[in-house]
Structures are given as C-alpha cells and as structure tokens.
A and B are shown apart, each in its own frame.
Chain A
Amino acid sequence: MTKEPVGGIGSRQRARQGFGPLVAGSAALHVALFAAVAIAAGGRSTPPLDLQALPVELVTLGKPRDPKLLPRKVRPPPPAPEPAPAPPSGESGSAAPTKDAVALEIEKKAAEAKKKEEARKAEKPSKQKRRLSAGARRLLEGGGRDDIDDVLERFEEPEGAEDGFVDGTTTDPSASANAYEAHVKAALKRNYELPAHLQARKQFLEAVVVLYIGPDGKILRHEFVQRHANEQFMAALEKLFATLELPPPPKDNARRYREEGLGIRFKP
C-alpha cells in the first residue's frame, strides 16, 4: 500500500469536492441576506431621520440680488412701538405696548404710504425725471445722506427673481420652492381643512409627514415623522391624503418624489 503524498492529486480532488458545497452555501447565504435587506428597505416604516425643517417659500418678483450679499426681507418689519416710560430701576415697569396698538399704528402708516405712492405714480414722467435730477444735483452739491437715500429708495427696483411671484415672500432663491413644490403647496392649501371645533386651538397643532408621490401624482403612501396627540387633527390629515389629487411631478425629479418623498409640515 502506498501512501498518497500530502498535497497530492488525491488530496486536491477531495478538497474540491468539499469546497463546492461550501461555496454554494455561501452564495445562498448572500442571496438571502440581500433579499432581507431589500425587504427591509422596501417595508421601512420610518422615514429617513435626516428630515430637517427648511421652509420652502415663493421668491418674489424682482431683479436678482447679488448672491454674495446678505438677504433682505421682502416685507420689512413694522416700526418699533412707542417706548414706554422708563421706570426707576428695580421697580416693576409697565408692559410693552400690546400688538393691537402696534397694528393700528401700522395700518395708519401703511394707508399714508399708499396715498403717497399713488400720488407719485400719478405724476408725469417728466416731473419724476426733474425730481431725480434735483436729487442728483443735491448729491453733486454734497447733499446729506437723507437725500441720497430718498433718491435711491424712490427708484430702487424690488429684488427677487425674474420668474418670481408677485406674492412671493423671499428674495432668496436658495429657499425658494420649485415650480412643482409650489403646485403641491397650492393643492394642499386648497384642500386642508380643520374641523371647526379644532379652530380654537389650531395654533398648537403641528405634524410633519413625508408624502411619496407616484409619477402620475398619486400619493403612493405617507409616513408621519412627527405626530400630534390630537387624534381629530390626525384624522383630518389622513382624510386629506386619502382624497388629495396632486399634479404629476416633473420627470427629472419623479424618482426622488417616489423614493425619497416630499416633506410637509402642517402648522397653523
């Protein structure tokens, strides 16, 4: 009897025969693993946790602002309310004016500003040109800053985007809604209704949801990232999603809206 040498042909054959089932088993395990991952991803019950709040607004109509400059508000804040009399230090002072008093003051000044604007628009162009020339003359003669500001403000064009919206609320294109998001927002606002008895506390109702939108605009499914304890509020949202009809998304973004969804925050 001869002994087969170690590492001889026979041993290699026995090794191959034993290795085959091992490979087949490994392949089967990998397939099962992939299937499990795919199922888990498809049936994911919670949306991605990187959902962050970025209010999407409509850009106002106007000339583009230099992107290197800091943004400016479209609608500047109201003027400061009349200061309350300064109390002696350490004593309880009077409270700041209420919002109603400020609102009345704002309305009054807005009405005055509107009258002035209408009067200016009614002027003949030749008169405006003469005024500009007068302002320019004051500049040349070393006029004060108020004169310069007056001229600039009067003839300064509103900032925004050339394809902006008249009722836009931001001049910053980076925060703007794209056209499809604007349509979605409009559709939601048209159909979003709160039951009458929830109106009293609507300010405290808030929910965040991700809508997964199909290529035909149909809502494939929705997932709440942030729910509210008020079940009637949640029921109102469920009803909204069940009946909402959205326009089809643009083809270049269709996959994103189908697979990643579109975040919506409902707040009063």
Chain B
Amino acid sequence: MRYPTTLLLPLLVLAAQPAVAQSGEGRRLIEIGSPDFRPYPIAIPDVRGLGGSAATEAARDITRSLRFDFDVAAQFEVSNPKSYLANPEKEGMTAASINFEDWLSVGADGLLKGVVREEKGSLQVELRFFEVSRAQSFFSKSYTLRSPDQARDTAHRFADELVEALTGAKGIFRTRIAVVRKSKKGRELYVMDLDGQNLQAVTRNGSINLLPSWLPDGTGLVFTSYIRHNPNLYRVGIGGDGLTLLSGERGLNTGGAFSPKANRIALTLSRDGNSEIYTMSPDRTGLTRLTNQWAIDSSPSWSPDGRKLAFVSSRLGDPHIFVMNADGSEVTRMTFRGNYNTTPDWSPRGDLIAFTARDERNVFDIFTVDVNTKTIRRLTQDQGNNEEPSFAPDGQHIVFTSTREGRSQVWVMAVDGSNQRRLTSDGGFVTPAWSPQEVLR
C-alpha cells in the first residue's frame, strides 16, 4: 500500500529530531567560593554549673560534647578556649549581658553559651546560640535532666537542632557507629556513639563476628559470625537480643546489606563454589542470584533509592568497583584506576561511592568515585593504612579505620577528606558502619 508523501513528511521530520540526551553523565559544575573561605568559627566557653556537684558534672559533659560535635562538623571551627577574653563569671545568658566585642576579638562568628541549674532534684539546662556580629540570640533551647548521665545526649540533641536551624539539614551527632573490635578469643560486635563514648557490646559469643551493617530503621544489625563454625549471616537487635539466622548456606554468607526500604537483603554467597552476589527477602525466601561470573563478586552496597547495587568484582582480573541494577542487569564498571579497589559504600546522597584502594606504594587509602562521571578523588594519603569507609546519613562525613598512629582506630572526616578526627583510643577496631539518621538508643 502506498502512503501519501504528505503523511510521510512529518514522520521523517520527527525521526530527524535529535534525541533528548539522557546519557546519565553528570554536567560539569564550576564551584565558586569566597576567596577567604574558612569554616564558621564558633566559640564555646565552658557551660556553667550552678547549684551543686551534679550541675557541675553535667555542665562539664555538655561543654565537652558540644566542643566535640562542632569540631567534627566540617562547616564549623571551634576556637581555642584558652584564647577567650570574656569573664565567664560576669557574662550571663542574655545578649545584654554579653560584651560581644570580646568575642569578635577572638575571631568568633558564633557564640554558644549554656548554664545548668540544679533545682528541686532535677537539672535545668539552658543553651543559647548568638550571632556575634549581630549581637543577638539566634537559637535557644531548654531541657530538664533527671541526672547528669543525660547531659551528653542532651548536648548532642541541641547540636543537631542548632545545625538544622543554621543549615536546614539534620545533624548527625546522635547517630551511632557499629564496629568490630578484636578480643582475646576472636572479634566482637560493638556500637558506640559518634563521640566514641558509650561503647556497648552487641555480641559476646567469643567467636569471630564481622562486617556489620545497619537495619534501615536503626534497631539492629546484620553481620557475619562463625558461632556455628561457618561464616553465616545473622540479624541482631542493638542490645544483642533477637539473634536470628538469615543465611546458613554452605560456604560464605557475608556482606549482608538491607535495601533502604528493608524489603530485600543483598549478600555474598559461595554456595555454588564461587563467591557471587544474591538478594533475598528478609524472611529468607526469594533467593535470587545476581552475578554469574568465574571471578569473585562480593561486597554489595545499595544505592539510596534501592534500584542499584555497587559491588566488587575481579571479573577483569583485578578487583574493581562495579554497579548493577538490583536485578543484576546492566553491569557498569566504575573504577578504571588502580588495581585493588574494594569495600564500596554508596553515599545516602547518591552522588558518590567511597571505597578502599591500594595504591602503587602498597598503601591502603580511602577514595570516592563520582557515580555519574566516574572521577576518582583521593581522601587520605601518607597517613598509614586507611580502610573501610562508611558514609554518615547526611552524606557529608565518612567514618573509616586508620593505622596512622599505630593500632587501628576509628576516624571520621568530611566527604572531601578534610577535618579528620579520631573517635576511639583503645585500638583494634575494624569495619565501622555508620547508623541511619534514626537509631534506637
């Protein structure tokens, strides 16, 4: 049948239209910052404790916690308390009682003050943030504590709220870190607060327990344990309760990771003789194999939308970072530099994947790869071995382990590698995992 040209012509024109570019590659962005950029300098004088020893103890803990929080946060810089000029005995909590010139003189843009009063068996805490150049209060909160033990958590809560008031993004100071610590008999699982305090054992089985990852609701962990003399995958509550076997296949059952919506678990199994990546439902049904390669495939990490997985594969010879759809399709190589890239962790922002890599000097360091452009950026260098990165829920901080001071400690840094701070002191820590924003306490 012949079609009239008057009908064909529009079709030809339509076919000639350039396709809408959906390459998935990122657009280049020039970043413009002020030439004199520096972190926001904030002064945190000692919180005053009034009334008794309980108030004094609480005030001390609050001061210490606030200084830690704003020191870790890359956007802030806590000025040295030894440089403060103001007389803490004379200054009060109101703008009228503060000589802001004293704080301008030490270079502070923000001033965070607090007082703890012991009243009728409880502790009344008042914390207030001032903008020094404007000589006015910007944010304040009051809390009632039953005991000084609650002081540290109260400080972190205030820091979270202040950061949210200033930046619009939630703070991370009440999140937690899961970590493995070497013991005499093996390795046990622990969780600790971001400031390295409140270290609590999750496992006490005397066996080897490895590779923790958090449940999306922050109530528990998934981890691998040799308690049955085979590396099986388990789920456990934060308090060590509710230990449940998730996978006990012959061989490896490792690298378990819940999807963001908690409807699937990605894991590495070697049931068929080779290390491959699978997914399954939390009730242990629906086991689906995603990879089918002669090489080792392992260490799955979910994208924040749950549609993709980053993983390690040596299918091209050396271990590199790859990304695939959640059904195993469309495998894409992400790293093209180096020859030993492992332990991927996908940022909650979706833009970066952090990983460990061994460089040409046989040193392990932390890197990030841009998901869209595949550009690799180095975060640590010439500081011992740095490994096993895990993103904070804000996507702006990374926790990792480092041997720069001898024993393996847990460190935290900003996503660009700046502002590196040590969290632990005792040593022997490996495989840290940062909790979700909401975590059971």
Contact = CB atoms under 8 A, between A and B. Distances in A.
| Residues of A contacting B: mostly | loop
A101 interface: yes
A100 B166 contact: no
Interface residues of B, number: 83
A70 B360 contact: yes
A73 B381 contact: yes
Given A27-B10, A71-B378, A202 B34 contact: yes
Nearest to B67: A95
Nearest to B405: A83
A122 interface: no
A27 B133 contact: no
B120 interface: no
Interface stretch (A7-15, A45-53, A106-114, A133-141): A45-53
Given A34-B14, A80-B405, A200-B134, A27 B383 contact: no
Given A23-B7, A72-B381, A99-B77, A48 B30 contact: no
Interface stretch (B202-210, B263-271, B282-290, B365-373): B365-373
A68 to B, nearest CB: 6
A82 to B, nearest CB: 10
Nearest to B34: A268
Contact of B31 (A37, A56, A80, A194): A56
B interface SS class: loop
A89 B392 CA distance: 24
A184 B29 CA distance: 11
Contacts of A23: 4, 6-7
B105 interface: no
A151 interface: no
In this complex, the member of A85, A94, A192, A201 whose beta carbon has the largest number of chain B beta carbons within 10 angstroms is: A201
Interface of B: 4, 6-7, 9-11, 13-14, 17, 21-35, 37, 39-40, 61, 64-65, 67-68, 71, 75, 77-80, 83, 109, 131-134, 152, 166-168, 195-199, 336-338, 351, 357, 359-360, 365, 367, 370, 372-373, 375-378, 380-383, 404-405, 417-422, 425-426
12 contacts: A31-B10, A51-B27, A54-B28, A67-B337, A71-B337, A73-B417, A80-B404, A96-B71, A203-B37, A204-B40, A208-B29, A265-B30
